[in-house]
Each structure stands twice: as structure tokens, then as C-alpha cells.
Structure 1
């Protein structure tokens, strides 16, 4: 039923739809399910070319047992009910927003985990358990997020590294974006000088540079105004 766990029959319908060349939206409409549910189901179980209904059903049962064990053993660390279908659907949707903005999927999944917990933090071990990936995958993604100033690392009372987002995460991110934009502005000004501002290419690049310069200044002004309020 809509909102509940997928049944074996629904998974067989998904497999049949994929074999017929249907898209996720079409399959979702047939089953009266969100398209994100179908997309996540197929992606987690081999992709369109390798999806098998019976195998996906068994794998989901195994994951559910693991998730229940993690929830019972680490209720404070988990931070939300991992077996909640509505939350899982939203987590998949929120992750796709990051991915569509150009973020690698593993980094996007970590950002979603951090955003959807009250503390805004996880240890590497918690991320490994929740995302069912290797410690190396988490380590690589975390390093990239730290370089972009999207997460920060602190040692907790048990001397474990914890990874945080906080109220200033997006404030810093916007300022970093403004700084990157300033670099592009300088590059465009240099190109305009080389080509000549009266040439078609030079005039075009000059216009782009002036727009990006305005945008950069406005981003800084808006963020600072928001931070003061």
C-alpha cells in the first residue's frame, strides 16, 4: 500500500516495468508510489539492468533486520527511526538535491545523514552502519566535505572523531562560493583585456564578469545581513 514497505508483488511489477522499458515515474504511477521510492529501490538493488524482484525482496529484509539492530543498540546516535518509510523517502529526495547540484553521491548521503539528526553529528562508525558502506568510502567522502568547509571534525569524550554540520555551515559555504566567484571575475577581466572590450568575445566576457561581480557582492551582503538579524 502507498506509504508502506514494498511487497514482493510490487517488486515483481517494478521488474516487469523495467523489462518493458518504462521509466520510474510510469512505474510509480502504476503502483501509486512516489517516483523517489521506485528510484531508490532500483538503485539499491543493482540498477535497471540487474534488478531482480526476489533478490531485492530478500536484500531488503536483511537490511531491515540490520537497521532494527542498529536502532536498538544506538538509539541516541541514530537520531531518527531508520525504518520509517516517509523519512527514508525524504532522505532519498534530499540526497538527490545534493547530487543534482553536482555533489558526489557518497558525500550527498553523508550530508543527508548529518542534516536529519538532532545533534547534526555522526561518528565514522555510525555512518558506516547507517549507509552500509566501507570505512574507506566514508573517509574519502568526509575529507572532500571538510575541504569544502561543509563539515567540521571534533573529538568527543570517548576520543572518537565526530563530524558535524552546524548553524554556520551554509553561511560559510555561501561566503566560499562568493570567493570562488571573485576568482572567476578576475579571470574574466583578464580575458576581456586580452581580447579587447570592443570585440564581440571581449564584450560578452566583460558583461559576464560584471554580472558575476555584482552577484558575488550581493551574496556577501545578504549573508552578512542575515547573520546580523
Structure 2
């Protein structure tokens, strides 16, 4: 059913669509699903060249069983204070690097406060800080930190982890942060490809405006597929692909 979980029949139709050379947007429209759902499904299960319906169905069932039987998380024992810097590191240089990283992220389109929070988290060994840690390090208000964290959570770049000993939340980035960022980029490309393909159909593929839209759709869809394929290949070569 549209909006629910993908069924085995859906997955077979995805595999058939890929074999026929259909784009993600076309496959999604045939299923009555968002293009992002199809993009994520293919990315998690072998990419466009390695996707197999039966294997994807088994992997989804295994993930579902693990989530139902996973033990309750243990209270974290991490110290609430900022991460201790090793003696051979220069704290000032690390802070400068975090600022440079944030400025680059701003340059490529990320909101400034979001970029500063992400840069601050990224240079910590644990990859986690509390709201208070971020407020002190960045010299900003708790509201500014909260808004930035909300943005990062929406992009699946940061998650919350409860520190029961300190009765507070920690904000955590994982080692697959760039995988998730690139996958989000591929999903955005897929959505743009879908709307421009619809525009081409609306305007008429034989018209100059329709041709322009059709070309944009094909390019965006190809770039999105290439991103997913390259990232999957990278992780397959160096270790397990994040789920």
C-alpha cells in the first residue's frame, strides 16, 4: 500500500525497473511511492547494479528482527565535559581547523550556525557533546544550538543519545556521517529529477521548455545514481555499508 512498507512485490518491480533501465523517478511513480523511498531502498541494498529483490527482502526482515530483539541501551558512562585533547595536539590549531571546516560548509550552502555545530562535533574524539558543551565552545545561546541540532537531525547527520548519569542529552555524529550526507544529496537530486520530469511532461517534450526540463531531469537523476553507486562501492571496499 502506498505510504506503507515496501512489499516483496514492490521490490521485484524495482528490480525489474532497474533491469529495464528506468530511472528512480519512473520506478517510484509506477509504485505510487516517493522517489526518495526508492532511492533509499536501492542504496541500502546493493545499489543500481547490485540490487536483488529477494536479498533486499531478507535484509529488511533481518533488520526488523534485530530492532525488535535489541536489548535496551545501557546508560552511557561518557564524561559530560569536553573531550580531553591529547598532549601532542594543539587545541588552538584544532579550534582553527573546526572554524575553517565550518566556513567551507557555509560556502557550499549550509547555514552558519549549523556548520559551526557540525564542525565542533566532528573534531571531538567521541563525536559527541552536550548542549552545554556546544554553548560554551561556540559562545552562543542554547536556542541557537537547539535550532542547529534540529536541522542536523532532519538531515540524519546527528542523533540524540540520553546520558542517564548526567540527566541530559548528548548529540552524536557517527563515522558514516559523509555517507548519510551524500545519500541525502542523492535523494534531493532524485526529487529534483522527479519534478523536472513532471515539468517536461506538462510542457511537452517537443517544446524548448520541455526539452530543457527533460535534460535537467536526466542529468539530475544520473548524478544521483552515480553518487549512490560511488558511495556504496567505497564502503564495500573498506567495510560494511551503513544500514
TM-score by length of 1: 0.63
CA–CA separation in structure 1 for the residues paired with 2:206 and 2:82: 61
Richer in helix (by share): 1
Q: Residues 94 and 123 of structure 2 are in contact (CA less than 8 Å); yes or no, is this contact kept in structure 1?
A: no
Highest RCO, 1 vs 2 (Cα 8 Å, sep ≥ 6):
2
Deviant stretches of 4+, over 3 Å: 78-85
Q: Does 1:217 align with 2:225?
A: yes
Q: Which runs of 5+ in 2 are unaligned?
A: 1-78, 238-243
Secondary structure at the residue paired with 2:82?
helix
CA–CA separation in structure 2 for the residues paired with 1:80 and 1:205: 52
What residue in structure 2 maps to residue 116 of structure 1? 123
Secondary structure at the residue paired with 1:161?
strand
Secondary structure at the residue paired with 1:77?
coil
Shift in CA distance, 78/97, structure 1 to aligned 2, threshold 3 Å: same
What is the Cα deviation at residue 80 of structure 1? 3.6
Secondary structure at the residue paired with 2:209?
helix
What residue in structure 2 maps to residue 226 of structure 1? 234
CA–CA separation in structure 1 for the residues paired with 2:80 and 2:144: 24
Alpha-carbon RMSD across the aligned residues, in angstroms, is: 2.1
What is the Cα deviation at residue 75 of structure 1? 9.9
Aligned length: 156
Q: Does 1:78 align with 2:86?
A: no
What residue in structure 1 maps to residue 106 of structure 2? 99
What is the Cα deviation at residue 156 of structure 1? 2.1
Q: Which runs of 5+ in 1 are unaligned?
A: 1-73
Larger radius of gyration: 1
2:209 to 201, 205, 227: 201
* Map 1:7-26 → 2, pairs under 5 A: none
* Map 1:1-229 → 2, pairs under 5 A: 77-80=82-85, 84-158=91-165, 159-229=167-237
Partner deviation per Cα, 1:170-209 (whole Å, 9 max, x = no partner):
2122112211211111111111111111211111111111
What is the Cα deviation at residue 223 of structure 1? 1.4
CA–CA separation in structure 2 for the residues paired with 1:97 and 1:127: 19
Q: Residues 99 and 108 of structure 1 are in contact (CA less than 8 Å); yes or no, is this contact kept in structure 2?
A: yes
What is the Cα deviation at residue 138 of structure 1? 1.0
